[in-house]
Structure 1
Amino acid sequence: MKKMVFIGLLLIGLILFIMGGGAKWNMAVASFVDEQSGRVFAQLIQKEETVEEIEFERVLTLVERQPIYMKGATFIRIGELEANQPVAITGEDEEYYELRLGKMPVFVRKGQGTIEKKKLPVIVQTERLAAVKTLRKTAVYNDKDLQSTVLAQLEEGYRYPIVQEEEDWYIVKIGERPGYIDKRSVVLDEGLPVLVYHHIVPRDWMKTMASTVSLENFEQQMGYLAERQFETLTAQQLYDYLEGRLVVPGKAVLITFDDGLLSSKEYAYPILKQYGFTALQHIISSRTYRAQGIQRYDAEGPIQFLTAEEMKEITDVFQLEAHTYGLHNLNKELGTGIALEHVKEEIFADLQRNMEQVPAAVSLAYPYGHYNEEFIAAAKEAGLLIGFTTTEGYATIDVSNYEVSRFGMTEKRSFEQFAAYVDGDMTWQ
């Protein structure tokens, strides 16, 4: 029997060799015991090589350790590149060398270093996997070994994109090279918190708790974000994060408003501006024509929507985004948004009309959170990069950019729930 198993393994190995041609195979034989019969079986495991040596025209090797910066409104330090660690560079200007961390351009100040043609280890198979959060300064090693040399250091308090994981290690790309992060030194990123608001009014004027947050609770929530030094992100920054090409702070949040209600200008806008926060405002553009000019807010009258003139006044805080032109209605019999009754071409035409008023839109909020493949296809064709749902959870890299989760804020939400969500401590069933 043992002889037959041995011959069988040889035959399998021969077949794999023939099928693989000149490809490299890592083969290991692992054994396990069938407890019932006590017999030992052989299991053949094959794994393709994921790291190859590739030659680059311009490879930088520093003589001294240098900070790594990402470029936003200013240069922000997000790590350090160790001396004597060659990395591929993609460009330069008078002051900085440009390389990539994952897919993101990062910069190292010019100083003592050499540029030469050289081979580097490169990950052949990469994927948009996830991100990790650093709780302290974190070493990135050259190999899956704590005794190996350090390629770079990551700063505390950021979310870094990773491309693979192997056993006890996460893999990040720095200057096209794989770097290895000990899983015990970081935590897996739960995703970004995205808040969605609609109507903000003083508590004494509230007529319903549905889709409404009192001014008093909104002030408390924004004060908490400011006190904890949260940064608000734009739709473009969220997209870059989801694509694995942006490092964002651990304390980051995206604030969104749906429907373009006048109450958001009256009450939310001054508070957001006070704290230096930005937010998205998803506009139903057919409703912006219900009034003209600058309105006087009337809490007792019918619900009011922003006019074109009023939208111009809030663009220092609000980024105007898409929420359809005329498809924000509900089929009461079916309980679904009417957009689902339309084909892609009709939805696309509506979005085009919507975007005439919000031409810089990056994201779309699906009416009532209802969407299907036709809606997603139309959004893509319209050039929108993100689709916001009403599914509750965090915005994560491993989910489609057109199915981004948000946390719906109403007066029924407790402050403890709000804090748990933005702090990344909310658990989802």
Structure 2
Amino acid sequence: MERTGMGKLVMQMAVTIALLGGICAWNLHRADERVAAMLEQGGVQLPVIMYHSILKDEARAGSYVLSPAALEADLDYLQHNGYETVTISELVDFVDGKGDLPAKPVLITFDDGFYNNYLYAYPLLAERDMQAVVSVIGEQTALYTESGQENAYWSYLSAGRLVEMQESGVFEIGNHSYDLHDDSVRKGCLKKRSESVEEYRQMLTDDTHLSQTYLAESGLTPPQCYAYPYGAYSDETEDILKEMGFRCTLTCEERINIISPGDPDSLFLLGRYNRPSGMSTTTFFEKALPGEGS
């Protein structure tokens, strides 16, 4: 009886696994069909690359620290393979029916707003006529604007440097919160369990408004794009940011995006591929660019 019972159990498990496999394959097929339909309707595949700190010191290399040489190799790879950088403004115009995108667009982003982005990334991009968005932590920008300190290892960009970078046309400025990048208080934009929806809304609105106001008063164009600290957000977050006028949000989920004309929502919750050290340019882009790994 035990053997018979075990045999039935094995058969049931095999049937269940087969069914789940069929369901997963069907879902993947449906997903592929949706993507194909979106592309046929004028949608464009948009890979988004996420960088953080750029440092020459190999001892600092890691998941969020890349060397200038590796960044240079990445930029050359993109250009050699026909990719053209786009800005948030161009993406907004595209979904609003006011402009076109290149055949192979790519969005380059830098999170946190480290001074070393100015020191190393800025000239590399400028030399190649490429653009990027740097999403800054408002509190850190204010702190280093006041102190005037500029150190590749630990300083953040001052308002003056940001104005220079924006006016050059190389960088757009994004919002990375004013003071939500300290996970000792909360995890990015996540709502605390103890907060009511009204309290959470007030907190996020106040923090975001503080950053937007500071940047505007510093002579910068108020950002249209919000990069979630740690990629963390709650159910209510998107609606709040949309009500505040944002046109784009950036996550840390790794996937290729489909941007569709006439669909402003396709610019929200954009997936991005984080660029770590310890991986060749070719290997990284085989993962991060559509069709490169096939």
Question: Which deviations, in whole Å up to 9, do the C-alpha atoms of 1:277-323 show, x marking residues without a partner?
Answer: 11001011111122237544243xxx211111121221111111111
Question: Per chain length, whose mean CA-contact separation is higher, i.e. which structure has more relative contact order (CA < 8 Å, sep 6+)?
Answer: 2
CA distance in 2, matches of 1:339, 1:387: 15
Pair member with larger Rg? 1
CA displacement at 1:402 relative to structure 2: 2.3
The structure 2 residue matched to 1:270, chosen from 123, 136, 142, is 123
1:418 aligns with 2:284: yes
Matched residues, number? 240
Letter in 1 for 2:212: M
> Is the 8 Å Cα contact of residues 54 and 117 (structure 2) preserved in structure 1?
yes
CA displacement at 1:268 relative to structure 2: 0.4
What is residue 386 of structure 1 aligned with on the other side? 248
What is residue 38 of structure 2 aligned with on the other side? 130
> Is the 8 Å Cα contact of residues 324 and 350 (structure 1) preserved in structure 2?
yes
> Is the 8 Å Cα contact of residues 189 and 204 (structure 2) preserved in structure 1?
no
Letter in 1 for 2:267: N
Which residues of 2 match residues 162-177 of structure 1 at below 5 A?
Answer: none
CA distance in 1, matches of 2:174, 2:285: 26
CA distance in 2, matches of 1:364, 1:199: 19
> Is the 8 Å Cα contact of residues 259 and 281 (structure 1) preserved in structure 2?
yes
The structure 2 residue matched to 1:351, chosen from 208, 214, 233, is 208
Matched residue SS, 1:314: helix
> Is the 8 Å Cα contact of residues 52 and 65 (structure 2) preserved in structure 1?
yes
CA displacement at 1:327 relative to structure 2: 1.3
1:401 aligns with 2:255: no
What is residue 55 of structure 2 aligned with on the other side? 201
The structure 1 residue matched to 2:223, chosen from 361, 380, 386, is 361
> Is the 8 Å Cα contact of residues 285 and 324 (structure 1) preserved in structure 2?
yes
> Is the 8 Å Cα contact of residues 206 and 214 (structure 1) preserved in structure 2?
no
Which residues of 2 match residues 202-241 of structure 1 at below 5 A?
Answer: 202=56, 204-241=57-94
Matched residue SS, 1:373: coil
Q: Which structure is higher in helix share?
A: 2
Letter in 1 for 2:119: E
CA distance in 2, matches of 1:370, 1:422: 21
What is residue 186 of structure 1 aligned with on the other side? none
> Is the 8 Å Cα contact of residues 179 and 207 (structure 2) preserved in structure 1?
yes
- TM-score normalised over the length of structure 1: 0.51
Identity %: 27
1:377 aligns with 2:217: no
What is residue 311 of structure 1 aligned with on the other side? 162
Give the alignment's Cα RMSD to 1 decimal.
2.6
Letter in 1 for 2:254: E
Matched residue SS, 1:364: strand
Query: Cα–Cα, structure 1 residues 312 and 366, in superposed 2: closer, same or farther, change >3 Å?
Result: same
> Is the 8 Å Cα contact of residues 251 and 423 (structure 1) preserved in structure 2?
no
| Structure 2 segments unaligned to the other structure (5+ residues) | 1-36, 193-198
Letter in 1 for 2:281: F
The structure 2 residue matched to 1:329, chosen from 175, 182, 190, is 182
What is residue 260 of structure 1 aligned with on the other side? 113
Query: Cα–Cα, structure 1 residues 378 and 412, in superposed 2: closer, same or farther, change >3 Å?
Result: farther
Q: Which structure is higher in strand share?
A: 1
CA displacement at 1:411 relative to structure 2: 0.6
- TM-score normalised over the length of structure 2: 0.73
Which residues of 2 match residues 53-132 of structure 1 at below 5 A?
Answer: 130-132=38-40
CA distance in 2, matches of 1:234, 1:379: 19
Letter in 1 for 2:65: T
> Is the 8 Å Cα contact of residues 284 and 325 (structure 1) preserved in structure 2?
yes
> Is the 8 Å Cα contact of residues 328 and 339 (structure 1) preserved in structure 2?
no
| Structure 1 segments unaligned to the other structure (5+ residues) | 1-128, 133-159, 163-188
Letter in 2 for 1:345: Q
CA displacement at 1:206 relative to structure 2: 3.6
CA displacement at 1:249 relative to structure 2: 1.9
CA displacement at 1:400 relative to structure 2: 4.6
CA displacement at 1:348 relative to structure 2: 1.2
